């Protein structure tokens, strides 16, 4: 490698300082640390409990979607809670999981992979299951694994646009005729084949899974092949202010009933790829108010940091004031937040209901940020530092239907 170049590990781009303690309360921690940078508060006990409940309820293999939050502390907590398999979407994610858990099961769930990634995944990291959605990818997999006879080939189905918060129908997935042809080709090439789909991130409709499962059954029947695997993907939702999804059990029941209704003789092993539902509630971020302008608050984290979903996607998050040196007003008011960068797009409309007398120097704890919070951070404008601590505290928003309940 030339002397003037270097490779940066991009799985977890946030530069953080780590605190090895486990704090019992966020307020006391803020009072002690007086953090001048965003403070990520991870709840390992909640993450473990959530994993245990999800693994116990889902009638198949639970693969954690590493892209959701690749923080090693998070991965270790999920592993301790019973998650033994991981959905990796890049060779960097696969290397990370392999480094932490050499015996972990990994499935390469990205439908389009670099040739070098396929070679390393198969030959070095022991990955045998790969998702694809095209004949070109099938040929690439065969070529880069040397025509291996021990592959698991999973065809990603295209689904119609749904009502999930993040629609994922526009980029990946084979249409019906292509999927039928691919299934037949995969059956001739591999001992294990399957179908996969994704109903969209933060899906509030449990019947979306049932409809997709029925459609997968139609594809398999038309192809005239048996399925070894049916991967129902991710999308399992999390509660946010103003959005209380059905309980996890309702999603599990809908999936089970739909699988039971598949044509006779089609009883594939089930996989799922939860991310948000496993880790979303387990992390909050404490930010500091740097300036108040009327009903606008300038804080030290924003859409280029942990709060990407609070920008254009318009997600609302639970928030509360932390003021170690005095009481706050009882009166509440709605605020808009601005992040720390010089970009005027760094704006989070909320509304954010907070005490009306909030001021510079106060801290705000923002919850439900364990999913895609740290993972989507950038180094834009130099605001790329934060601190990570473990806390033994309840989440800011918790519902009876949450898998950690």
Comparing CA positions, the residue from 291, 278, 389, 361 lying closest to residue 51 is 278
What's the pLDDT score for residue 18?
A: 54
Domains for the chain: give ranges and CATH numbers: 15-42+280-391 (2.40.37.10), 44-277 (3.20.20.10)
Cα distance from N-terminal residue to C-terminal residue, the chain: 50
Task: Report, as an integer, the average pLDDT of 325-341.
Answer: 94
What's the pLDDT score for residue 326?
A: 86
Distance CA 141, CA 130 (A): 8
Q: Is the pLDDT of residue 358 over 50?
A: yes
Q: Is the pLDDT of residue 180 over 50?
A: yes
Neighbours of 114 (CB within 10 A): 14
- Ranges of beta strands (E only) in 254-379 are 269-272, 283-293, 296-299, 319-322, 332-338, 347-355, 363-366
Task: Report, as an integer, the average pLDDT of 190-206.
Answer: 92
Distance CA 349, CA 243 (A): 17
List Cβ neighbours of 273 (8 Å cut-off, separation of 6 or more): 63, 64, 65, 87, 109, 198, 231, 233, 234
- Ranges of beta strands (E only) in 116-272 are 129-132, 152-156, 192-196, 229-231, 269-272
**pTM of the predicted protein model:** 0.91
Comparing CA positions, the residue from 65, 92, 15 lying closest to residue 378 is 15
- Binning pLDDT at 50, 70 and 90, where does residue 56 land? very high
Q: What are the tens digits of pLDDT across the range 271-308? A: 999 999 999 999 999 999 999 999 999 999 999 999 99
What's the pLDDT score for residue 403?
A: 65
Distance CA 363, CA 376 (A): 22
Comparing CA positions, the residue from 46, 92, 12 lying closest to residue 374 is 12
DSSP 228-250: SEEE--------BTTB-PPPHHH
The four Cα atoms 259, 261, 263, 267 give a dihedral, to 10 degrees, of 30
Q: What are the tens digits of pLDDT across the range 89-109? A: 999 999 999 999 999 999 999
Distance CA 263, CA 31 (A): 60
Neighbours of 5 (CB within 10 A): 6
Strands 39-42 and 385-391: parallel
What's the pLDDT score for residue 405?
A: 58
- Binning pLDDT at 50, 70 and 90, where does residue 2 land? very low
Q: What are the tens digits of pLDDT across the range 211-224? A: 999 999 999 999 99
φ/ψ of residue 253, rounded to 5: -65, -45
Strands 296-299 and 15-23: unpaired
What's the pLDDT score for residue 292?
A: 98
Cβ atoms 391, 41 nearer than 8 A: yes
Q: What are the tens digits of pLDDT across the range 228-253? A: 999 999 999 999 998 889 999 999 99
Comparing CA positions, the residue from 216, 208, 199 lying closest to residue 259 is 216
> Which tokens sit at 111?
């439908």
Task: Report, as an integer, the average pLDDT of 122-149.
Answer: 97
Task: Report, as an integer, the average pLDDT of 335-347.
Answer: 97
Q: Is the pLDDT of residue 268 over 60?
A: yes
Q: Is the pLDDT of residue 404 over 90?
A: no
Comparing CA positions, the residue from 43, 116, 58, 21 lying closest to residue 255 is 58
């Amino acid at each position: 490698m030339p002397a003037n170049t270097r490779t940066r590990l991009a799985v977890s781009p946030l530069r953080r300082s780590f605190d090895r303690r486990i704090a019992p309360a966020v307020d006391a921690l803020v009072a002690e640390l007086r953090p001048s940078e965003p403070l990520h508060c991870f709840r390992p006990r909640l993450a473990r409990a959530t994993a245990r409940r999800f693994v116990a309820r889902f009638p198949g293999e639970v693969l954690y979607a590493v892209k959701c939050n690749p923080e090693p502390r998070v991965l270790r907590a999920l592993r301790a809670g019973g998650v033994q398999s991981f959905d990796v979407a890049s060779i960097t994610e696969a290397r990370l999981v392999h480094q932490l858990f050499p015996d972990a099961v990994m499935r390469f769930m990205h439908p389009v992979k670099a040739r070098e990634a396929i070679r390393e995944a198969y030959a070095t990291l022991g990955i045998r299951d790969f998702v694809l959605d095209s004949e070109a990818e099938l040929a690439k997999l065969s070529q880069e694994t040397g025509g291996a006879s021990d592959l698991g080939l999973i065809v990603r189905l295209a689904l119609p646009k749904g009502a999930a918060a993040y629609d994922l129908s526009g980029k990946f997935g084979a249409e019906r005729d292509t999927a039928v042809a691919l299934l037949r080709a995969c059956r001739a090439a591999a001992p294990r084949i399957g179908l996969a789909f994704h109903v969209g991130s933060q899906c509030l409709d449990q019947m979306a899974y049932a409809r997709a499962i029925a459609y997968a059954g139609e594809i398999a029947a038309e192809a005239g092949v048996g399925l070894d695997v049916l991967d129902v993907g991710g999308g399992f939702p999390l509660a946010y202010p103003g959005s209380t999804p059905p309980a996890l059990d309702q999603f599990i029941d809908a999936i089970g009933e739909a699988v039971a209704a598949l044509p006779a003789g089609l009883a594939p092993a089930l996989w799922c790829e939860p991310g948000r539902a496993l880790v979303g509630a387990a992390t909050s971020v404490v930010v500091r108010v740097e300036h108040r302008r009327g009903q606008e608050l300038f804080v030290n984290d924003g859409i280029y940091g942990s709060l990407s979903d609070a920008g254009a996607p318009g997600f609302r998050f639970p928030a509360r004031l932390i003021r170690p040196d005095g009481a706050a007003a009882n009166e509440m008011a709605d605020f808009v937040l601005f992040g720390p960068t010089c970009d005027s797009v760094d704006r989070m409309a909320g509304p954010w209901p907070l005490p009306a007398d909030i001021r510079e120097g106060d801290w705000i704890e923002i919850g439900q940020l364990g999913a895609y919070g740290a993972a989507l951070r950038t180094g834009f404008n130099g605001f790329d530092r934060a601190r990570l601590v473990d806390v033994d505290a309840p989440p800011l928003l918790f519902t009876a239907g949450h898998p950690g309940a």
